[in-house]
């Protein structure tokens, strides 16, 4: 009650007395400042259906591209539709809209310069139809995000114009490697890296040929290859560690390298293989006997299956780049004799 006194000073002021007698809600509450960002305004006629707005929108169900049906005279137009129940009024769609004049207007359009425009993806996602088991988990994951994956002719297909590169499909895919994220840029360099890695690994294994030949049918031969070596070489091709790691990981993941050994001592020059070899890598010479040219060899294993004397040996090398192996900085190579039956 005594705090009343502290208020008397306040109450004695003119502005307070005015408020006391004439308190009311002003019409100014309805005014919005000029920079206020309301829901985006869509001007259909300018839309080029690039999908930048849908790709950029951070809210999942705020923007949708729709297409009106074609009439007799002209094609239907495509334009974005804003769903007010999802739109968070950030104005990002207006910012990324590339048309001039803008299709989407939202408050004061911010500084939009060429260098700030967005490429939301730097990875392209593709579905490997061969590995795909059509579980549709990616479809489900994608339809909530971008709706880029659809089913065409019973195959899962990613629509690249809609893909925003979130990688949800990869996360949800139960099959390793069925969905691939491919770096769009530096394709040539990537190829080089792949070739380089495969070549080096192959060379490394073939250097141990003598030991491999002695392997018993169920025996496993292991080699550790230091990864730094590969990375160092790859860095000369392109200095992007992220990309290099990604490439090496992908290579070692799926690569099943066939190693073909050739034991000249066992050869009886029966020449069964020469006619079978599809690439002509095995030749017969009267002086030198049966010769194999490793450069031409496709490692198709036909010679291995044909030879009754076991001259050709086929081994399968697998590569492992696990966390433990990474700690040691090595790629683990595992070599096993092939289990392919030998034709008799």
Partner 1 sequence: MNLMANILLNVLVAFLVGSVLFGLQRKIIARIQMRPGPPIIQHLLHTLKFFIKETVIPKTAAMPFYIAITVILCSIWVAAVIVGPVSEGSLLILFAIFAIHKIVEHNAGSSSGSPYGKLSCVRAVFSAAAEVPLFAVLLIIYLQTGTMNLADIIAYQGTNGALLFSIPLAAMMFFVLILSKAYYYSPLNITMGKDLVSGFETEHFGMLRGFIMISESIAWYMLLWIFLTVFVGGLTPIGYLAGMIIITALVSLIDAVTPILNPNHSVMTQVTLAFVGIVGSVLMIFYL
Partner 2 sequence: MDIQIIYLLYVLAFIIGSITGLVLSYKKYTEPFVRKNIDLAALILALIGWILTINYSLIETLIPYYATITIGIFLIAMVIGMRPGYGRFETVIGFAVAGIIWIIRTVLT
Partner 3 sequence: MILPIGPVHPNLKEPLRLKLKTQGERVLSAEIDYGYVHRGIERVMKGKTWQKGIYLSERVCGICSYIHTQTFAETFEKIAGERAPLRAQFLRVLTNELDRIQSHLLANSTYFKCIEHETLFMYMLYLREPVMDAIELLTGNRVNMGWNVVGGVKMDVNQSHLDSIQEIITKLESEFDRYVEMFDHGPMVGLRSHDVGKLTQEEAIKARAVGPIGRASGLKHDLREKHHTYQDNFDFKVIWRKDQDNYARNMNRFDEITESMKLIKQVILNLPEGDVRKKINIPAGYGEWRNEAPRGEVTYSIETNGNLIKNISIRTPSIMNIDACAKYMLKDVATVADAISTYASVDPCIACTERVVIVDESGKSGEYVYPEYKLEYKSE
- Name the residues that contact partner 1, by CB under 8 A: 1, 3-4, 6-7, 11, 16, 19-21, 23-25
CA distance linking residue 257 with residue 314, whole number of Å = 10
The H-assigned helical ranges of the chain are 3-11, 14-22, 52-56, 92-96, 137-145, 168-172, 187-206, 209-213, 227-237, 241-254, 272-276, 302-306, 323-328
Q: Which residue has the tokens 């050994």?
A: 261
2 binds partner 3 (CB under 8 A): yes
**Cβ 8 to partner 1, closest distance in Å?**
9
Q: Which stretch binds partner 3 (CB under 8 A): 64-72, 78-86, 102-110, 319-327?
A: 102-110
- The two structure tokens encoding residue 111: 């500084």
Return the closest-CA partner of residue 261 out of 294, 289, 309, 283.
Answer: 294
CA distance linking residue 248 with residue 227, whole number of Å = 9
**Cβ 290 to partner 3, closest distance in Å?**
52
Q: For partner 2, give the closer residue by CB, 8 or 29.
A: 29
Cα–chain center distance at 237 = 21
Please pick, from the candidates 218, 242, 265, 323, the single residue that binds partner 3 as defined by CB under 8 A. Answer: 242
Long-range contacts of 235-244 (CB under 8 A, 24+ apart): 237/189, 237/192, 237/193, 237/196, 238/186, 238/189, 238/190, 238/193, 240/186, 243/183, 243/186, 243/189, 243/190, 244/193
92 binds partner 3 (CB under 8 A): yes
Residue 309 contact, options partner 3, partner 1, partner 2, none, Cβ 5-8 Å cut-off depending on partner type: none
Residue 51 contact, options partner 3, partner 1, partner 2, none, Cβ 5-8 Å cut-off depending on partner type: none
Please pick, from the candidates 8, 25, 58, 286, the single residue that binds partner 3 as defined by CB under 8 A. Answer: 58
Q: For partner 1, give the closer residue by CB, 23 or 216.
A: 23
What is the footprint of partner 3 within residues 139-168 (CB under 8 A)?
A: 164-168
CA distance linking residue 302 with residue 105, whole number of Å = 66
Residue 40 contact, options partner 2, partner 1, partner 3, none, Cβ 5-8 Å cut-off depending on partner type: none
Residue 130 contact, options partner 2, partner 1, partner 3, none, Cβ 5-8 Å cut-off depending on partner type: none
Please pick, from the candidates 8, 10, 188, 214, the single residue that binds partner 3 as defined by CB under 8 A. Answer: 10
Residue 113 DSSP class = -
Return the closest-CA partner of residue 332 out of 317, 310, 313, 314.
Answer: 317
Residue 30 contact, options partner 2, partner 3, partner 1, none, Cβ 5-8 Å cut-off depending on partner type: partner 2
CA distance linking residue 16 with residue 5, whole number of Å = 16
Residue 82 contact, options partner 1, partner 2, partner 3, none, Cβ 5-8 Å cut-off depending on partner type: none
SS3 200: helix
238 binds partner 3 (CB under 8 A): no
Residue 108 contact, options partner 1, partner 3, partner 2, none, Cβ 5-8 Å cut-off depending on partner type: partner 3
Count Cβ neighbours within 10 Å for each residue of 97-128 and write b for 16 or more, e otherwise: beeeebbbbbbeeeeeeeeeeeeebebebebe
Residue 20 contact, options partner 3, partner 1, partner 2, none, Cβ 5-8 Å cut-off depending on partner type: partner 1
> What does the binding site for partner 2 look like in residue numbers (CB under 8 A)?
21-30
Q: For partner 3, give the closer residue by CB, 125 or 225.
A: 125
Cα–chain center distance at 91 = 28
Q: Which stretch binds partner 3 (CB under 8 A): 35-43, 188-196, 273-281, 291-299?
A: 35-43
6 binds partner 3 (CB under 8 A): yes
User: What is the number of helices (H) and of strands (E) in the chain?
Assistant: 13, 14
* Positions in the binding site for partner 3 (CB under 8 A): 1-3, 6-7, 9-10, 33, 35-37, 56-58, 88-92, 95, 107-108, 110-111, 115-116, 118, 120, 122, 164-168, 171, 241-242
């Amino acid at each position: 009650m005594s705090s009343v006194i502290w208020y008397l000073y306040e109450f004695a002021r003119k502005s307070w007395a005015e408020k006391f007698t004439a308190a009311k809600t002003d019409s100014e509450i309805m005014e919005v400042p000029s920079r206020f960002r309301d829901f985006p305004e869509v001007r259909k006629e300018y839309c080029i259906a690039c999908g930048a707005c849908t790709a950029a929108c951070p809210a999942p169900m705020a923007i949708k591209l729709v297409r009106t049906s074609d009439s007799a005279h002209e094609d239907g137009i495509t334009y974005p539709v804003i769903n007010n129940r999802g739109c968070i009024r950030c104005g990002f769609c207006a910012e990324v809209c590339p048309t001039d004049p803008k299709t989407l207007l939202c408050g004061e359009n911010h500084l939009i310069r060429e260098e700030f425009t967005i490429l939301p993806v730097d990875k392209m996602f593709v579905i490997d139809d061969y590995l795909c088991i059509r579980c549709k988990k990616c479809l489900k994951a994608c339809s909530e995000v971008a709706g880029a994956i659809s089913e065409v002719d019973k195959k899962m297909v990613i629509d690249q114009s809609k893909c925003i590169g979130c990688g949800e499909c990869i996360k949800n895919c139960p099959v390793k490697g069925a969905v691939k994220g491919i770096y769009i840029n530096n394709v040539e360099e990537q190829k080089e890296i792949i070739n380089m890695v495969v070549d080096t690994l192959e060379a490394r294994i073939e250097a141990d040929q003598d030991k491999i030949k002695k392997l018993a049918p169920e025996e496993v031969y292991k080699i550790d290859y230091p990864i730094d070596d590969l990375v160092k070489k790859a860095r000369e091709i392109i200095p992007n560690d992220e990309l290099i790691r990604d490439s090496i990981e992908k290579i070692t993941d799926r690569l099943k390298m066939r190693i073909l050994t050739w034991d000249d001592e066992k050869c009886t020059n029966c020449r069964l293989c020469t006619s079978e070899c599809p690439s002509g890598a095995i030749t017969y010479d009267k002086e030198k006997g049966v010769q194999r040219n490793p450069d031409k060899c496709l490692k198709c294993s036909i010679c291995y299956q044909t030879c009754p004397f076991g001259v050709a040996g086929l081994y399968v090398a697998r590569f492992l780049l696990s966390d433990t192996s990474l700690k040691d900085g090595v790629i683990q190579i595992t070599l096993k004799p092939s289990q392919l039956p030998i034709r008799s």
